Structure 1
Amino acid sequence: MDRRYWPYFSGFVGAMDGVHVCVKVKPELQGMYWNRHDRTSFNIMGICDLNMLFTYVWNGALGSCHDTAVLTTAQDSDAEFPLPPTDKYYVVDSGYSNKQGFLAPYRSSRNGVVRYHMSQFNNGPPPRNKQELFNRCHASLRSVIERTFGVWKKKWRILCEFPRYNTHVQKRVVMATMGLHNFIRISNYFDEDFAEVMEHTDISDTNSENDEGDMETTAIADGDQMANTRENIADMLWENQNNFR
């Protein structure tokens, strides 16, 4: 019932993003797993809800894969991929297309730059138009997946250390730690790591795995429905902009 999101984002059913986890591979395979941060990794695609619970994970994509390729693979390979109902969606960042079931932010165009990252709003003027107001609220809502990944990696440092295991074992480590993450959250135990991250409703996403450069390589948004959904939300937010000052 947070007035920043309701009723504007009433179709929200989760936030989705990718995160990299280091992996040890044979020298001849390093090229496939080598990511743009100059290390070998898995690209893990996760979906979470507002309670910071993982609801879906595509585990073990090559570190060299772009997030959109991981999503496509998951949808094509998993018959049980949880595609949202027609009127629902996951919020995703600018590395994904704005298409059926996936609500992405506005991107910069030839007509001008549209800010998206929270750090740009925290260190700059307030939203200048409805697109930027939508992006600020969208980024704030989507930050739940970044907080979820953050507390997950902080609690299980094995995910950040140089791996001592092969790819098969490392995949199992990912799933085991995500399961423990959810168990702690569901059990309502007091946990210092969760308590610390819950103190912040917005976080800077300057270290996100996706950056402005991804916009140039991402497929053009397909489908008019999500474009209309985004426009309707932006119009409602702009009409009620006094609530966000």
Structure 2
Amino acid sequence: MPHVVGAVDGKHVQIKCPRKSGSLYFNYKQYFSIVLLAVCDSKYTFTAVDIGAYGSQSDGGVLKISGFGNRILNETMNLPEAENLPRSAIKFPFYYVGDAAFPLTKHLMRSYPGKCLEANKDHFNKCLSRARVTIENTFGILVARWRVLNNSLDMFPENANTIVRATLILHNFVKFHNAEFYCPNNFVDHVNESGILIEGQWRQFVAPLHQSTILSTANARRSAFDTRDLLKNYLFFNK
């Protein structure tokens, strides 16, 4: 997809129940966790993260309290000015891609809802799915290589946040300096032209982190729907 600057997603990291915390950290999967909200680029490098939100948070709470999410929702991201899409005179903004749980803005594209979709919407969703697989791979590589994240972190949440932050930094460092060993080609998922997910080898080592519930109840602006429709039509007629 043209003009994509990153993929965003949120995951749960399991922790032991902190003392006197009640249900603050208790998530919809019935365990205690902190939430890792992260953005990656096409090379499986983390470019922005927010760590430590309560596992119970949902309905846009995690996104709204993060610096990244706040700028996305208020459309104040420091992104390049809109440019023409390839081989067209259509000026289009730069944007992130997320799943259906995220709010739709002109700088955050998500899929069209529903199953029996028109051909152009279905094509858009397949393109978005191929773009989004990068963040799932990035989380998968992280957990496969730093297996402390496979276990419940038996420590104060503040210390768990530090452990998670350390794994993210180490992931980026090792990926940059020894990418062929750390993440060979067959290690990651990819989506074929039919939209079918071909699983990577990282899934043989670990189960993926659970999806967080970063749902937004806010209605998207009309301009966001129009922006997505513009990209949908461009992708369909330039496939």
Tell me the distance in 1 between the aligned counterparts of 2:20 and 2:198: 37
* CA apart distance, 1:180: 0.5
Corresponding residue of 2:85: none
Structure 1 residues 107 and 173 mapped into 2: Cα distance closer, same or farther (>3 Å)? Answer: same
* CA apart distance, 1:25: 2.9
1:179 aligned to 2:185?
no
Say which structure is richer in helix. Answer: 1
Tell me the distance in 2 between the aligned counterparts of 1:48 and 1:76: 13
Corresponding residue of 1:50: 42
> What aligned pairs does 1:70-81 form with structure 2 within 5 A after superposition?
70-75=62-67
- Range 180-189 or range 48-57, more displaced: 180-189
In structure 2, give the amino acid aligned to 1:36: Y
- Range 183-192 or range 95-104, more displaced: 183-192
* CA apart distance, 1:218: 3.2
Tell me the distance in 1 between the aligned counterparts of 2:198 and 2:31: 23
Tell me the distance in 2 between the aligned counterparts of 1:234 and 1:76: 25
Corresponding residue of 2:24: 32
Deviations 1:100-121 (A, max 9, x none): 321111113xxxx357xxxxxx
* CA apart distance, 1:65: 1.1
Tell me the distance in 1 between the aligned counterparts of 2:147 and 2:5: 29
Give the % identical residues. 25
Structure 1: tracts of 5 or more residues without a match: 116-127
Tell me the distance in 1 between the aligned counterparts of 2:120 and 2:178: 38
In structure 2, give the amino acid aligned to 1:61: A
Structure 1 residues 155 and 53 mapped into 2: Cα distance closer, same or farther (>3 Å)? Answer: same
Tell me the distance in 1 between the aligned counterparts of 2:133 and 2:59: 17
In structure 2, give the amino acid aligned to 1:163: L
**4+ runs deviating over 6 angstroms:** 76-79
1:158 aligned to 2:164?
no
* TM-score, normalisation: structure 2: 0.77
- For residue 23 of structure 1, the aligned residue among 15, 20, 35 is 15
- For residue 83 of structure 1, the aligned residue among 58, 73, 77 is 77
The count of corresponding residues between Structure 1 and Structure 2 is 210
In structure 2, give the amino acid aligned to 1:233: L
Tell me the distance in 2 between the aligned counterparts of 1:34 and 1:49: 30
Deviations 1:152-172 (A, max 9, x none): 011111111122222111111
Tell me the distance in 2 between the aligned counterparts of 1:190 and 1:76: 30
Q: CA contact under 8 A between 1:84 and 1:101: conserved in structure 2?
A: no
* CA apart distance, 1:219: 2.0
* CA apart distance, 1:49: 0.5
Structure 2: tracts of 5 or more residues without a match: 82-92, 192-196, 200-207
* TM-score, normalisation: structure 1: 0.75
Two-structure CA RMSD over aligned residues (Å): 2.9
- For residue 124 of structure 2, the aligned residue among 102, 126, 134 is 134
Tell me the distance in 2 between the aligned counterparts of 1:77 and 1:220: 13
Corresponding residue of 1:218: 216
* CA apart distance, 1:191: 2.1
